[in-house]
Amino acid sequence: MPSLLNDSRLLIGFPDYQKPAQRLASKAGIPYTDALIHHFPDGETRLRLPEALPEQVVLCQTLDHPNSRLVELVLAAATARDLGAKHITLVAPYLCYMRQDKAFQPGEAVSQRIVGTLLSQWIDALITVDSHLHRVHRLKDAVPVNPAINLTASPVMSAFLMKQIDNPFLVGPDEESEQWVASIARNRGFDYCVARKQRFGDQQVRVSLPEAAYRNRHIVLVDDIASTGRTLEDAALGLARFEPASISVLVTHALFVDDAQERLRRAGVSQIWSTDAVPHPSNALHLDHLLAEALNGCKISPI
């Protein structure tokens, strides 16, 4: 592969997240190249980067499929250092393992702290979006690098909804979603409310809606992450009883595992929208502008 020593910065993308990474590089005005990845039949990865790198490298990879992507990321960061990178910024629009922020049962791994510490051993700076910070409030306490920037997609979502729906009524399916729902609603003066959620297992949740005038309203369920989709599904089933004009879903991180989308459709959801933080057919909002601003404004300590 050619040397890229002539540019002061280089953004390296990965095959599973190539298009958003290329959009970001173009918006931020940074040269782009791919990490070349080969998956061996036994599941190991061979990774190759350009043979000489500039001092400042940006790795852009989102961290759904967390276990395999974390290993590839460590391979890339360590190799980048070997090839001359002195400062590595990770742009990971979806940051995995942020929900397990304490040992809920004696003996459980506190994955947030462990994965955050692992990342901090390989990267110098981090930019992510709507990271699931609940009991730990600051990203730098979860991933101790400087800067550790947790952007929010809320302004992008508010602007999107403004164009899509006349007078939407936003519903957050649990207390944790209030930070995002309130901020999206406040940006444009939308009505909103927040439900309560009890979780009994990976696939079992109960969402209790607050009393509100849902009838004939265009409801938008807003959350940071849709994983199994059970949270949104139970909320949608509850809302459908009030005969709203429509129910839509808007999330930052579209994990949507297994048949989550189909179940949401059956629960009465007509539109599913997400940002491109995680590649998915529902991606309708691009984050390149938001990320590029942060990347270019991000002060890098002198090397």
User: Considering the rule CB under 6 A, would residue 172 count as an interface residue with ligand R5P?
Assistant: no
Structure tokens that stand for 19 in this block: 């298009």
Shortest Å distance, C-beta 3 to ligand R5P: 43
User: Considering the rule CB under 6 A, would residue 275 count as an interface residue with ligand R5P?
Assistant: no
User: Considering the rule CB under 6 A, would residue 230 count as an interface residue with ligand R5P?
Assistant: yes
The CA distance from 74 to 80, in Å, is 10
Candidates 199, 223, 202, 206; CA nearest to 274 is 223
User: Considering the rule CB under 6 A, would residue 263 count as an interface residue with ligand R5P?
Assistant: no
CB 140 within 8 A of CB 160: no
Binding segment toward ligand R5P, per CB under 6 A, in 38-46, 62-70, 120-128, 221-229: 221-229
Give 173's DSSP letter: S
| One residue of 13, 50, 229, 244 binding ligand R5P per CB under 6 A | 229
Shortest Å distance, C-beta 225 to ligand R5P: 4
- 254 Cβ neighbours under 8 A, 6+ residues apart: 226, 272, 274, 275, 277, 278, 280, 282, 283
User: Considering the rule CB under 6 A, would residue 228 count as an interface residue with ligand R5P?
Assistant: yes
Q: Quote the Cα angle for 285-22-67, to 5°.
A: 80
Helix H or strand E encompassing 148: strand 148-151
Shortest Å distance, C-beta 194 to ligand R5P: 12
- Rounded to 5 degrees, φ, ψ at 284 are -125, -10
Binding mask 130-149 for ligand R5P (x = CB under 6 A): --x-----------------
Looking at the DSSP bridge assignments, the partners of residue 242 are none
Nearer Cβ to ligand R5P, position 74 or 237?
Answer: 237
Shortest Å distance, C-beta 5 to ligand R5P: 43
Shortest Å distance, C-beta 189 to ligand R5P: 24
CB 248 within 8 A of CB 232: no
The CA distance from 108 to 99, in Å, is 13
User: Considering the rule CB under 6 A, would residue 226 count as an interface residue with ligand R5P?
Assistant: yes
User: Considering the rule CB under 6 A, would residue 64 count as an interface residue with ligand R5P?
Assistant: no
User: Considering the rule CB under 6 A, would residue 176 count as an interface residue with ligand R5P?
Assistant: yes
Candidates 189, 204, 192; CA nearest to 250 is 192
Shortest Å distance, C-beta 2 to ligand R5P: 42
# of chain residues touching ligand R5P (CB under 6 A):
14
The CA distance from 167 to 181, in Å, is 15
Nearer Cβ to ligand R5P, position 112 or 231?
Answer: 231
The residue type found at 289 is H
Cis peptide leading into residue 147 (ω within 30°): yes
| One residue of 72, 130, 223, 276 binding ligand R5P per CB under 6 A | 223
User: Considering the rule CB under 6 A, would residue 224 count as an interface residue with ligand R5P?
Assistant: yes
What share of residues in the chain are helix, strand, coil (percent, to 5)?
30, 25, 40
Binding mask 87-126 for ligand R5P (x = CB under 6 A): ----------------------------------------
Residues in contact with ligand R5P by CB under 6 A are 132, 174, 176-177, 205, 223-231
